């Protein structure tokens, strides 16, 4: 997979992309991440990327010219252009899994008051990581990149890891334990020490359901609605 990032602040990405799992994936050639400074596509000596909005209003708006040139210079027939924006669809694990199948993703990071709406004609998907305001789209882009890279086969080492985590099944992950088996009087559940894989799997499924019901009942409701909708569709 190749990921091109268009941002006014490419240096913000240096630390997160040069550590841990993402760095290992880059070193192994499993993902190529290229950072592009939007100002490199300006034509004036001040490298202007923004201007006041037509019709008035606060803030500045990113101009269309440098964004069009940047996207068009990177885009190919296999590219998927993703814009990080508060008006995008809420990002979740299923979107991550679908994006992880892409050969080439171009991520556009907004800034200031917004982006000239004509840039939308080049965008394939608009994403938001939450209903809150950030300074620019760099941090959301890092979140999406992190969630995608770990889904690339071989990146995590254990191929079952990405499918055995919170949100992958619609539920939160079951509780995890490690040594020592008894810590300050708190003992690991006996079933996990039994070696009975069938019972362990059953316990984990039960605990995932209980944790979701306790901590994220909205996820459980969404999963039940989805299953009900699917069943209704198959009985017609």
pLDDT in tens, 35-90: 999 999 999 999 999 999 999 989 999 999 999 999 999 999 999 999 999 889 99
- Alpha-carbon distance of 187 to 73, in angstroms, equals 58
Burial class (CB in 10 A: 0-12, 13-18, 19+), 206: exposed
pLDDT at residue number 236 = 42
Given pLDDT bands bounded at 50, 70 and 90, which one contains residue 164?
A: low
Give me the CATH topology for the region 2-149.
Alpha/beta knot (3.40.1280)
Q: pTM for this structure? A: 0.84
Give residues with Cβ within 8 angstroms of 49, minimum separation 6. 8, 38, 39, 42, 62, 63, 66
- Encode pLDDT of 187-205 as tens digits: 999 999 999 999 999 999 9
CATH of 166-234, one of 3.30.930.10, 2.60.120.10, 1.10.1270.20, 3.40.190.10: 1.10.1270.20
Lowest pLDDT segment from 5-14, 38-47, 97-106, 219-228: 219-228
- Encode pLDDT of 77-107 as tens digits: 999 999 999 889 999 999 999 999 999 999 9
Q: Which residues pair with 30 in a beta bridge?
A: none
Structure tokens belonging to residue 95? 């979107």
- Taking all residues of the chain, what is their mean pLDDT, rounded to a whole number? 91
Give residues with Cβ within 8 angstroms of 203, minimum separation 6. 174, 189, 191, 192
Q: Give the domain ranges of the chain.
A: 2-149, 166-234
Given pLDDT bands bounded at 50, 70 and 90, which one contains residue 157?
A: confident
């Amino acid at each position: 997979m190749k990921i091109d990032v268009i941002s006014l602040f490419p240096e913000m990405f240096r630390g997160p992309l040069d550590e841990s799992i993402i760095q290992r994936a880059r070193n192994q050639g499993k993902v190529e991440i290229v950072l592009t400074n939007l100002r490199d596509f300006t034509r004036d000596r001040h490298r202007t990327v923004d201007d006041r909005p037509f019709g008035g209003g606060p803030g500045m708006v990113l101009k269309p010219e440098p964004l069009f040139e940047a996207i068009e210079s990177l885009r190919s027939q296999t590219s998927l252009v993703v814009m990080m924006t508060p008006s995008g669809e809420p990002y979740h694990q299923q979107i991550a899994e679908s994006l992880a199948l892409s050969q080439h993703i171009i991520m556009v990071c907004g800034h200031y008051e917004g982006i000239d709406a004509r840039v939308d004609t080049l965008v394939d998907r608009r994403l938001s990581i939450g209903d809150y305001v950030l300074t620019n789209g760099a941090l959301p882009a890092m979140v999406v990149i992190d969630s995608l890279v770990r889904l690339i086969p071989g990146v995590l080492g254990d191929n079952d890891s990405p499918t055995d985590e919170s949100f992958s099944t619609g539920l939160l992950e079951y509780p995890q334990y490690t040594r020592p088996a008894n810590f300050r009087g708190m003992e690991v559940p006996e079933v996990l020490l039994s070696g009975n894989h069938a019972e362990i799997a059953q316990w984990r499924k039960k605990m995932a359901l209980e944790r979701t019901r306790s901590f994220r009942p909205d996820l459980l409701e969404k999963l039940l609605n989805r299953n009900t909708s699917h069943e209704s569709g198959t009985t017609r």
